[in-house]
Amino acid sequence: MTVAAEERELRDDELNGLELSARLRSIWQTPSGLLGALTSVDHKVVGRRYIVTAFAFLLLGGLLAILMRIQLAGPEKTFLSADKYNQIFTMHGSTMMFLFAVPVMEAFAVYLVPLMVGTRNIAFPRLNAFSYWMFLFGGCFLWISFALNVGPDVGWFAYVPLSSLQYTPTKRPDVWAQMITFTEVAALAVAVEIVVTVFKLRAPGMTLDRIPLFVWAMLVTSFLVMFAMPSIMVASTSLILDRLVNTRFYDSSSGGHPLLWQHLFWFFGHPEVYIIFIPGTGMVSAILATFARRPVIGYPVVILSLIATGFLSFGLWVHHMFVTGLPQLGAGLFTASSMLIAVPSGLQIFCWLATLWDGRPVYRTPLLFVIGFIVIFVLGGLSGVMVASVPIDTQVHDTYFVVAHFHYVLIGGAVFPLIGAVYYWFPKITGRMLSERLGRWNFWLAFVGFNVAFFPMHILGLIGMPRRVYTYTADMDWAHLNLLSSGGAVIFALSFVLLLVNVIMSLRSGTLAGDNPWNASTLEWATSSPPPPQNFDRIPVVKHRDPLWLDNASLPVVAGLSVERREMLVTSLAEAEPQIREASPEPSIWPLLTAIATSVFFIGSIFTPWAVLWGTPPMAVTLIGWFWPSGSKEDEE
């Protein structure tokens, strides 16, 4: 209160136009140079890095898939040894799940959510920077280990007792388990940031029923992350304890049990699928509204479906364990609960179909990928209903039928929307359009390649081909379909090469996008492309679910935020009424240093339990540095 008596600091209601813009830019921008890059806490800078890194892991994981498809293209091939193949399929699954699918969705949220809710930065931006470094270090740790022939080889699910010290006396499972810890720390951090950003940093007037569907999807996803990830961290940490200090969580001869691992793993593992899929649905809703030229039909239905999916996803992990000898009635109940998730998923599909039915579709590349999504995902969902049935699952479990099913769900349900999202938001992120001509080629190659690669796998599973076999004999009749599948995989891979080419060419010479090239309705399109460091010169006021369609010419704004220091507007949870002004942190090197100290601690602790002891003081030091009071104006208040 003493501030009011002193000279009032400069606020944005006293400036206008270019001067306001320049002032805000100078206080919000990331410092230049290497140090600037390492200290940045701008959600756009971190989000961009996150997206690029996750796509780099996609390329690596895809490369492994191609190696596997070469090995399986014919019977008894010796292109890969059993040992290499087992490492490669483990690396493929782990990379795609932990280093690509979950991070890339969170990365898009890190970039887009603050823009879509109309604020200047994500909540806890230093935690955000820390999260990125942890993700990067965890991913590099896994891949460097793989390059050193210490890549995990016990499957991305690492079932005990195979992954126990007795049956795998190498460091490989430890690398896997600790990579989990890295990526889970990163994922949990982002989840917390997204929830707080959505709950407390929305533009005034963006009531709960005006939040864009993509933001809703990321909010639900973030809650799933917070409830599911602790389960896998408990699992992987106790696995390391079993291996390193001889605890007996999973040792059946000492009262532990291997099935404990499976319960913990799948209690995480099944929601994990929805952690990947729900953001995909958010992207679909965003793209569909823009290109069908109308709001998505059934906004409340879609949101309730997302929330219902989130809840149901925690009640069906047992369908991964139907052949472990569970009680029959219990297993039957999990059949019903697994199939039940078809209801909210179906409702969303029906809403999208109705939207397309009424809209005036503009067939640009993002919409093509959404249409591809519907065709592929529905097929994957229906094969999911099949594998949910106990008797059917006893046959198709751990066969290529399941491989086909979850690639239809994950690639159809998440990667197709994601590539659509790349085409859709690339102009916002870079300021340039991707080539539409290459985009169409990209879509058709992806659509045809995907189906040729994965549809035959349904049949392969039914004619007896189990998963995770590095080879098969010629008399098994699997050769032709495998060759077909490998051919499809090459076409599918080409589509990603084309995407890469398109991105590189468009970065150099794509058409300039302008603020809102698609004439979309949400707030990220109200600022320039790429957005300035402060996102918006003035915080918008939202009076409608589709603010930019209401009247693009005059978006109302609020004024009164400082132009001398980083300041954001905090609003109430339900009604988004302005509550207080809140300082937002300056760039800092401490998140990076903390991440380095944490990484040393994590990696050291797979070699010696003493790392827990000597690894902690450096972490404490960096955390003290991180939270040291900076003597900013807000601290004084």
Binding mask 310-329 for other proteins (x = CB under 8 A): -------------xxx--x-
* Residues that contact other proteins, how many (by CB under 8 A): 87
Binder among 259, 438, 483, 589 for other proteins (CB under 8 A): 259
- What are the residues facing 567 on neighbouring strands? 583
Which positions from 63 through 82 interact with other proteins, judged by CB under 8 A?
Answer: 81-82
Q: Which is nearer to other proteins, 192 or 376 (CB)?
A: 376
With contacts defined by CB under 8 A, name the span among 23-31, 122-130, 152-160, 170-178 that binds other proteins. 152-160
Q: Is 379 in the site for other proteins (CB under 8 A)?
A: yes
Is residue 343 at the binding interface for other proteins, with CB under 8 A as the rule?
yes
Query: Can you tell me the distance from the alpha carbon of 269 to that of 98, in angstroms, rounded to the nearest whole number?
Result: 11
Q: Which stretch binds other proteins (CB under 8 A): 173-181, 271-279, 426-434, 467-475?
A: 467-475
Task: Return the residues of window 604-633 that contact other proteins according to CB under 8 A.
Answer: none
Tell me the closest approach of the beta carbon of residue 71 to other proteins, in angstroms. Answer: 11
Rounded to whole angstroms, how far apart are CA atoms 63 and 56?
11
* Smallest separation (angstroms) from other proteins to the CB of 85: 8
* 467 contacts: CB under 8 Å, gap ≥ 6: 398, 399, 400, 402, 403
Q: How many residues does the chain have?
A: 637
584: phi then psi, degrees, rounded to nearest 5:
-115, 140
Residue 83 engages other proteins in binding (rule: CB under 8 A): yes
Q: Which residue has the tokens 């400036």?
A: 15
Pull the structure tokens for residue 435. 């080539």
Residue choice 13, 75, 150, 159 for contact with other proteins (CB under 8 A): 159
3-state secondary structure of 583: strand
Site for other proteins in 480-519 (CB under 8 A): 481
Measure the CA–CA gap between 181 and 207, rounded to whole angstroms: 36
Residue 576 to residue 203: CA distance in whole angstroms? 7
Instruction: Choose, by CB under 8 A, the member of 464, 514, 609, 617 that binds other proteins.
Output: 464
Binding of other proteins at residue 546 (CB under 8 A)?
Answer: yes
Of the pair 152, 587, the CB lying nearest other proteins is at 152
Kindly state whether residue 378 participates in binding other proteins, applying the rule CB under 8 A: yes
Nearest distance in Å: CB 199, other proteins: 27
Alpha carbon 591 to its chain centroid, in Å, reads 21
Work out which of 332, 487, 530, 578 binds other proteins, going by CB under 8 A.
Answer: 332
User: What is the token pair recorded at 132?
Assistant: 């990125």
Give the nearest distance from C-beta 398 to other proteins in angstroms.
4
- Helix 436-462, helix 479-509: angle, nearest 10: 160
Please compute Rg for the chain using Cα positions: 25
Is 470 one of the binding residues for other proteins (CB under 8 A)?
Answer: yes
Spatial contact of 565 and 632, defined as CB atoms under 8 Å apart: yes
Q: How many CB atoms lie within 10 A of CB 31?
A: 13
DSSP assignment string, 519-554: ---SGGGGS-SSPPTTS-SSEE---SSSHHHH-TT-
Which of 238, 281, 365, 521 forms a contact with other proteins (CB under 8 A)?
521
Q: How far is the CB of 577 from other proteins (least distance, A)?
A: 25
* Rounded alpha-carbon distances, angstroms, from residue 292 to 69, 163, 360, 418: 38, 50, 5, 18
The β-bridge partners of 558 are 539
Least distance (Å) from other proteins to the CB of residue 82?
A: 5
Q: Which residues pair with 466 in a beta bridge?
A: 399
- Segment 173 to 232, residues that bind other proteins, using CB under 8 A: none
How far is the CA of 56 from the CAs of 7, 327, 493, 523, in angstroms? 51, 44, 14, 29
Contact window for other proteins (CB under 8 A) among 48-56, 96-104, 222-230, 546-554: 546-554
What phi and psi, each to the nearest 5 degrees, are found at residue 565?
A: -145, 165
Q: Which amino acid is at 200?
A: K
Candidate list 392, 494, 505, 557; residue touching other proteins; CB under 8 A: 392
Q: Compute the distance between CA of residue 109 and CA of residue 118 in angstroms, rounded to an integer.
A: 13
Which of 74, 230, 258, 578 contacts other proteins by CB under 8 A?
A: 258
Interface of this chain with other proteins, residues 394 to 413, rule: CB under 8 A: 394-399
162 touching other proteins, by CB under 8 A: yes
- Site residues for other proteins, 566-595, by CB under 8 A, read none
For the bound state, the minimum distance from the C-beta of residue 303 to other proteins, rounded and expressed in Å, comes to 14
CB nearer to other proteins: give 153 or 184.
153
For other proteins, which stretch binds (CB under 8 A), given 207-215, 379-387, 433-441, 616-624?
379-387
Stretch that binds other proteins, among 441-449, 472-480, 500-508, 565-573 (CB under 8 A): 472-480
